[in-house]
Amino acid sequence: MAELRREPVTRMWVVVTTDHPKGPSDYLPFKPPYRPQEPEGPCPFCPGNEGMTPREIFSLKGEKEGWSVRVIPNKFPFFHIEGDFDRRPEGMYDVMEAIGAHEIVVENPAHQTTLATMEPKQIKKILLAYKERLIDLERDRRFRQFLIMKNYPGIFNRHPHSHILAMPVVPKRIDEEIWGASDYFQRKERCIFCDIIKEEISMKKRVILETVHFLIFSPFASRYPFETWIIPKVHASDFHHIGEEEMEDLSVGIQSLFHSFETLLSDPPYSLTFHTSPIQDRLHRLHYHWHIETRLRIGLREGFEWGTGFFVNPTPPEEAAHYLRGVG
């Protein structure tokens, strides 16, 4: 038997298996999806090879020498920074130049570290680099949306790194959240994410970890097994307005969560995205609430989800949270 659960923000229905739910052992021994070979030759993200990358945009000093976090332009960007949008029709269609910024955050000098094995203080430095870059990029009035995104393991390089994008359009998933949150706010004059936080803290069963400033939980209509959200408990629309103390607290939470993933599911591949309010448009400050969404890339239902935008999750979030709490 299975339930249809409705994702409260975007109102998407998700099938969640409730009897015979899959636990971690059903995904083990973990059959990794195809992982590309490490490219041959020296790693451009390792210390000493800085000359192989485009010129550094930002860096934080290392404790003894060199850098601890380094931000560089992506050599193969999805968006280019120079030029005009040149919005134009093409027959019945609409097209414009892909103007934007695409930067790489090299998260650590060491090639072999992961979020599960890094010190929280190193994770805090990564968060600080994100924040500083977003503050700088916000000055460019052409951008409407920031995205911070990490794929583990990295597709073209295993050295720990993440992506910062500044885009001239709001991507679909954020746009759907904005729409749902805005509609909820109009009806209730409350932030829907704040309501979800209250609900989850009072129900407890999907909470993985509660820190001073953050809630880490499995969302009610989890689309993926072990899908996890990290959200500030006090309303905040923009990640880059995060304070010093919150960053410290968040870095401990992140390290703990990824340590749990590693322990429970033997170093699974994952994707992680920061959802933060569109910039320029200040209207969203009241009803949008920034958060981090993580997905483990385990299970094999891609075709179904892709073709339909319809998700089937064989691991109920209550079970996922139970397992993840257990190792935390």
Contacts with a second copy, residue ranges (CB under 8 A): 1-6, 8, 10, 12-13, 15, 31-34, 36, 78-80, 90-98, 147, 149-151, 155, 163, 167-169, 171-176, 195-196, 199, 203, 220-221, 271-273, 293, 295, 297, 300-304, 306-310, 312
Given the complex with a second copy, which of 68 and 273 has the nearer CB atom? Answer: 273
Radius of gyration of the chain measured on its C-alpha atoms? 20
Nearest-angstrom CA–CA distance, 22 and 265: 12
Q: What is the DSSP string of 236-271?
A: -S-GGG--HHHHHHHHHHHHHHHHHHHHHHTS--EE
CA gap 64, 310 in Å, rounded: 50
Strand partners, 104: 72, 163
Residue number, 124 or 163, with CB nearest to a second copy: 163
Q: Which is nearer to a second copy, 61 or 172 (CB)?
A: 172
**Nearest approach, Cβ of residue 241 and a second copy (Å):** 21
Q: Look at the chain and count its residues.
A: 328
Judged by beta carbon, residue 68 or residue 181, the one nearer a second copy is 181
Least Å distance, CB 169 to a second copy, is: 5
| Cβ-based nearer residue to a second copy, 31 or 64 | 31
Q: Supply the minimum distance, in Å, between the C-beta of residue 50 and a second copy.
A: 25
Q: Which is nearer to a second copy, 56 or 302 (CB)?
A: 302
Residue 247 tokens read as: 């960053």
Task: Show Cβ contacts of residue 32 under 8 Å, excluding neighbours closer than 6 positions.
Answer: 269
Question: Which tokens sit at 111?
Answer: 């090639």
Smallest distance from the beta carbon of 157 to a second copy, in angstroms?
13
Q: Which residues, 6 or more positions from 148, have their beta carbon under 8 angstroms from its beta carbon? A: 130, 134, 162, 163, 164, 165, 239, 273, 274, 276
Residue 274: CB minimum distance to a second copy, A: 9
User: In whole angstroms, how close is the CB of 66 to a second copy at the nearest point?
Assistant: 29
